[in-house]
C-alpha cells in the first residue's frame, strides 16, 4: 500500500553519531581507482594533506583538521578550509568529536575496573540502584554490555540533548527517568547494536563510583595526566576557537553545536589533542596494558554476528572496530572510532603496537571519510619506518552463475532495518529483486544466483545471501568492498536487514495507523534551543512529505503495529542497521490525538491554529506543561512579525517547504516577514509569554 512519507519519521531525529557509507545502493568501484602504489611512498605531511583534501571533498566539508602522534609527539598536523570558511584561523581549531567521546568514557570506566572499583560483568544496578525499566530483563545488563553495545536498550534518548549554544545537561540528568518507562528491544548480551544510551549510563556509573562529576573525573584522571589542555565539554568549549558550522548554503555560521550527553558524544578537542590522547593510550599512562587489551578484544563476537568480520564495524569496548582494514590483513592491530554530530565529524585511529595515532576532524563532512583519511596517513607513517601494509582489495570468491535451489524462494517477503524497508522476491530462475519501499528514488536492484550460494550484482563485486541465525531469524547478508580513490577502501560484511514476520491485524487497526502515516506532525516537547527545529526544514523535508512511499502491512516504518494506540520495535539486527528502535504510542490530549515516539511528543500539524494578528500587540504563552506553541501563518502572510522575547525562550519561522527563514535562536532576530503557507513556533520555559506585533 502506498502512503505519503509520515512526517514523524522526519521529526523523530535518529541521530547518526556513527555513520557509514550507503550499503546496497553503494556505487560500484570505478575504473579510475588508484592502486595503492600510486597513493603511497610520499612524505607524511604530503600524504596527510592529500588524504584530507580528498576526505573534505567527498564529504563536502567546510573545514578539516588533522594530526599524527608518534612515539610521544605530534609529528605532523594541519588544516584546510573551504571558501565559506576561508577567513577562519587554521591553527588550534576546536571541533566537536561526537562519539569519539565514548573512548574517553571507556577509559574512565576501565581505570575504575583496574582499581577494582568496577567489575565489567557486574550488573549496572549494582552501581546505579535507581536504574529501572519497564522490562525485567534490565537487571541482566552489565557494565560490559554498556561498552560493547549489547545492552538491548532502544538506543538514543536524546530529547533536548542536541541544542544550539546551550550546555543544558537535562538530557543526561533525566536519562534514568526516561528509561524507567522503556522496554528493551533484545535480551541483554544477545548481540551488539550501536547504542548511545549505554554510554550515558556508563557516564553515570563513573559519577556514582568516583563521587565526581563526569568531566571533573575526566579532567583529573585523563586530561591532566596526559597533558591535554584542549579537550572540552559543551559548557567550557572556547567560543573563539570553535570551528564554524553551517546549514545548507547559508554563509552565516550557526551557534555552538552542543550535544549534551557528554559521555556518549558531547566532547570537543583539537586534532592534536585527540591524536595525542589516542597515542598516550598505548603508553600505559592512562590505562594498564591489560586494560587496553581488554578494550581491543573482539567483543562483537560474544553474540550474533556474521561469520565474515571484514566490515566497518567490529566492536571492542568503546571502539567501533578492533580489526580495521587494511591493517588487519598485515596482522596489525588498529583501533578505530568515528563520531558524528549533526555538524561535526571525527575519526580516531590508533595502532597500539607501533605507538601511533591519527585524528581527523571536520565541520560538515562524514566520519567515515575521516577514518579513511586517518588510515591513509598511518599507512604512510608506517612506510616511513619500513613497514608495508597489505592493501590488497578483497574480492568475492570465484563462482559462476548456477541453478538455484528451489527452497531459496521461500525467503521472498518483506525485510526491514530501522531506517529502511524492502520487498524482496526470489524467482525460480535465480534472480533476487530488491524493491525499496520507503526510498522510492532508489531504483530496484537485481542480483543473480551464483554457485557459492550468493546472489551477485551485474558487476560481480557485491553479493547477498540469506542467513538463518541461531535466534530463528532470517537475515539478508551483504558483502562488498568500495574503493575510495586517494584514501583506502571500505569493506562491507554485515546483516543489512531481517525478514519481517507477518502481522495480520484487523482492518480497523490498520486504518488508524494509515491515517497516522499521512499525518504531518510537529515536535512539542523540545527546548527552544533544540537543533531539531532546524533539522525539520529545507527541501529535503518538502520532498519527503510529498513523495509516495510504500509501507509493510501491519507496520509503521520498522515498528510492528500492536493495536489502535501502540506500535513496537521488534527487529533483531546487530551492527548499526538495528540501532535506535522506536516505539510509537497514540496519546489522547485535550487538543486531540498526539503521537509519542519513545520520549518525543508530536502534535498533528492540522491542529496548529492560525496566527491571530489583531490590532496592536498580541501574545502567546507557553503552558505549564512546557509544550511549544505552533501556528500556521495563514492570513498573516506577507506581514512583518515583531517579537518581544521572554527569558529562556525563542521562536522559529518556516516557509512552505519547511525551510527556516528566521530564528531568534540562530541569528538573534526579533522580527520576521511571514512567508506564504509557512509556520511559526514559539518555545520556552513554562509560562513564557511572547508579545507580538504585526505590520
pLDDT (tens digit per residue) in 535-564: 885 433 333 334 567 899 999 999 999 999
Which distant-in-sequence residues (6+ apart) come within 8 Å of 572 by Cβ? 185, 186, 190, 191, 304, 471, 473, 498, 578
User: Computed over its alpha carbons, how large is the radius of gyration of the chain?
Assistant: 25
Position 335 scores a pLDDT of: 98
What confidence tens digit (pLDDT) does each residue in 99-114 have?
999 999 999 999 999 9
Position 45 scores a pLDDT of: 95
Position 544 scores a pLDDT of: 35
Share of the chain above pLDDT 90, in %: 86
Query: Would you say residue 2 has pLDDT above 50?
Result: no
Query: Would you say residue 127 has pLDDT above 70?
Result: yes
What confidence tens digit (pLDDT) does each residue in 222-242 have?
999 999 999 999 999 999 899
% helix / strand / coil in the chain, to the nearest 5? 25, 30, 45
Position 19 scores a pLDDT of: 36
What confidence tens digit (pLDDT) does each residue in 648-694 have?
999 999 999 999 999 999 999 999 999 999 999 999 999 999 999 99
Catalogue all structural domains in the chain, each as residue range(s) with its CATH number.
42-384 (3.40.710.10), 406-499 (2.40.128.20), 609-694 (2.60.120)
Q: What are the grid coordinates assigned to 135, written together?
A: 522490562
Position 613 scores a pLDDT of: 84
Position 612 scores a pLDDT of: 87
Position 247 scores a pLDDT of: 93
What confidence tens digit (pLDDT) does each residue in 241-272 have?
999 999 999 999 999 999 999 999 999 999 99
Cis ω on the peptide bond leading into residue 149 (within 30° of 0)? no
DSSP helix/strand/coil, 446: strand
Q: What are the grid coordinates assigned to 471, written together?
A: 535466534
Position 33 scores a pLDDT of: 36
pLDDT band at 87 (very low <50, low <70, confident <90, very high): low
Question: Which residue's C-alpha cell is 542480483?
Answer: 447
φ, ψ dihedrals at 634, nearest 5°: 55, -135
Q: Which of 365-374, 515-524, 536-545, 609-618 has the highest mean pLDDT?
A: 365-374
Q: What is the pTM of this model?
A: 0.93
What confidence tens digit (pLDDT) does each residue in 461-509 have?
999 999 999 999 999 999 999 999 999 999 999 999 999 999 999 999 9
Distances (CA, A) of 30 to 268, 482, 490: 36, 9, 14
Position 82 scores a pLDDT of: 85
Residue, of 84 and 604, whose pLDDT is higher: 604
Share of the chain above pLDDT 70, in %: 91
CA 123 to chain centroid: 27
Position 548 scores a pLDDT of: 64
Position 92 scores a pLDDT of: 83
pLDDT band at 521 (very low <50, low <70, confident <90, very high): very high
Position 545 scores a pLDDT of: 39
Position 38 scores a pLDDT of: 45
Position 42 scores a pLDDT of: 78
Q: What are the grid coordinates assigned to 71, written together?
A: 612515539
Sheet bearing 649-654, strands edge to edge:
609-610, 629-632, 679-684, 649-654, 660-663
Characterize the bridge pairing of strands 421-426 and 413-416.
antiparallel
b/e code 149-171 from CB counts within 10 Å (16+ = b): bbbbbbbbbbbbbbbbebbbbeb
Bin 652: left if φ > 0, else alpha if -120 < ψ < 50, else beta: beta
Q: What are the grid coordinates assigned to 119, written together?
A: 567489575
Query: Would you say residue 29 has pLDDT above 60?
Result: no
Q: Where are the alpha helices (DSSP H) in 518-620?
A: 532-535, 539-546
DSSP helix/strand/coil, 265: helix
Which of 53, 97, 223, 204 is closest to 143 using CA atoms?
Answer: 204
Distances (CA, A) of 616 to 217, 500, 676, 691: 54, 58, 22, 10
Amino acid at each position: 500500500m502506498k502512503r505519503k512519507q509520515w512526517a514523524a519519521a522526519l521529526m523523530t531525529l535518529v541521530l547518526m553519531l556513527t555513520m557509514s557509507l550507503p550499503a546496497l545502493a553503494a556505487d560500484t568501484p570505478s575504473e579510475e581507482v588508484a592502486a595503492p602504489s600510486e597513493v603511497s611512498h610520499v612524505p607524511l605531511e604530503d600524504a596527510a594533506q592529500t588524504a584530507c583534501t580528498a576526505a573534505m571533498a567527498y564529504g563536502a566539508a567546510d573545514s578539516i583538521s588533522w594530526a599524527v602522534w608518534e612515539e610521544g609527539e605530534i609529528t605532523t598536523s594541519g588544516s584546510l578550509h573551504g571558501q565559506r570558511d576561508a577567513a577562519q584561523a587554521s591553527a588550534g581549531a576546536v571541533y566537536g568529536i561526537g562519539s569519539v567521546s565514548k573512548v574517553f568514557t571507556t577509559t574512565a570506566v576501565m581505570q575504575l575496573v583496574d582499581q577494582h572499583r568496577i567489575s565489567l560483568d557486574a550488573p549496572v544496578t549494582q552501581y546505579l540502584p535507581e536504574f529501572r525499566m519497564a522490562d525485567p530483563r534490565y537487571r541482566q545488563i552489565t557494565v560490559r554490555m554498556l561498552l560493547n553495545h549489547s545492552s538491548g536498550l532502544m538506543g538514543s534518548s536524546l530529547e533536548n540533548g542536541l541544542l544550539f549554544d546551550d550546555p543544558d545537561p537535562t538530557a543526561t540528568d533525566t536519562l534514568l527517568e526516561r528509561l524507567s518507562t522503556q522496554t528493551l528491544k533484545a535480551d541483554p548480551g544477545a548481540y551488539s547494536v550501536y547504542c548511545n544510551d549505554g554510554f550515558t549510563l556508563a557516564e553515570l556509573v563513573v559519577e556514582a563510583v568516583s563521587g565526581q562529576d563526569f568531566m571533573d573525573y575526566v579532567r583529573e584522571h585523563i586530561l591532566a595526566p596526559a597533558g591535554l589542555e584542549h579537550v572540552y565539554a559543551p559548557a567550557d568549549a572556547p567560543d573563539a576557537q570553535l570551528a564554524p558550522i553551517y546549514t545548507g548554503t547559508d554563509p552565516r555560521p550557526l551557534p555552538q553545536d552542543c550535544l549534551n550527553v557528554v559521555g556518549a558524544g558531547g566532547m570537543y578537542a583539537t586534532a592534536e589533542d585527540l591524536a595525542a590522547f589516542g597515542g598516550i593510550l598505548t603508553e600505559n599512562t592512562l590505562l594498564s596494558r591489560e586494560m587496553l587489551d581488554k578494550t581491543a578484544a573482539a567483543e562483537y563476537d560474544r553474540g550474533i554476528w556474521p561469520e565474515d568480520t571484514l566490515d566497518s564495524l567490529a566492536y571492542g569496548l568503546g571502539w567501533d572496530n578492533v580489526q580495521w582494514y587494511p591493517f588487519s590483513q598485515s596482522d596489525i592491530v588498529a583501533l578505530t572510532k568515528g563520531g558524528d554530530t549533526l555538524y561535526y565529524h571525527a575519526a580516531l585511529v590508533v595502532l597500539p603496537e607501533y605507538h601511533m595515532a591519527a585524528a581527523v576532524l571536520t565541520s560538515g563532512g562524514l566520519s567515515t571519510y575521516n577514518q579513511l583519511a586517518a588510515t591513509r596517513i598511518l599507512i604512510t607513517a608506517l612506510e616511513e619506518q619500513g613497514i608495508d601494509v597489505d592493501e590488497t582489495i578483497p574480492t568475492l570468491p570465484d563462482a559462476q552463475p548456477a541453478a538455484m535451489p528451489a527452497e531459496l524462494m521461500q525467503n521472498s517477503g518483506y525485510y526491514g532495518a530501522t531506517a529502511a524497508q524492502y520487498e524482496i522476491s526470489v524467482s525460480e530462475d535465480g534472480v533476487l529483486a530488491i524493491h525499496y519501499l520507503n526510498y522510492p528514488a532508489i531504483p530496484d536492484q537485481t542480483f543473480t544466483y551464483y554457485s557459492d550460494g550468493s546472489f551477485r550484482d551485474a558487476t560481480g563485486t557485491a553479493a547477498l545471501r540469506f542467513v538463518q541465525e541461531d535466534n530463528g531469524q532470517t537475515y539478508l547478508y551483504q558483502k562488498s568492498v568500495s574503493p575510495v580513490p586517494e584514501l583506502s577502501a571500505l569493506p562491507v560484511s554485515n546483516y543489512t536487514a531481517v525478514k519481517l514476520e507477518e502481522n495480520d491485524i484487523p482492518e480497523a487497526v490498520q486504518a488508524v495507523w494509515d491515517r497516522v502515516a499521512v499525518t504531518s506532525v510537529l515536535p512539542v516537547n523540545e527546548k527552544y534551543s533544540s537543533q531539531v527545529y532546524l533539522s525539520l526544514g529545507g527541501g529535503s523535508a518538502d520532498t519527503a512529505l510529498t513523495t509516495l512511499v510504500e509501507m509493510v502491512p501491519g507496520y509503521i516504518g520498522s515498528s510492528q503495529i500492536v493495536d489502535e494506540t501502540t506500535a513496537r520495535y521488534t527487529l533483531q539486527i546487530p551492527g548499526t542497521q538495528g540501532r535506535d528502535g522506536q516505539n510509537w504510542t497514540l496519546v489522547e490530549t485535550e487538543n486531540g490525538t498526539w503521537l509519542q515516539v519513545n520520549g518525543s511528543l508530536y502534535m498533528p500539524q492540522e491542529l496548529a491554529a492560525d496566527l491571530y494578528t489583531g490590532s496592536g500587540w498580541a501574545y502567546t504563552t507557553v503552558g505549564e506543561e512546557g509544550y511549544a506553541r505552533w501556528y500556521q501563518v495563514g492570513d498573516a502572510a506577507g506581514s512583518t512579525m515583531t517579537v518581544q522575547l521572554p527569558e529562556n525562550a525563542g521562536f522559529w519561522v518556516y516557509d512552505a517547504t519547511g525551510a527556516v527563514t528566521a530564528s531568534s535562536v540562530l541569528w538573534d532576530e526579533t522580527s520576521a516577514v511571514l512567508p506564504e503557507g509557512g509556520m511559526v513556533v514559539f518555545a520556552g520555559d513554562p509560562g513564557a509569554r511572547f508579545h507580538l506585533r504585526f505590520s
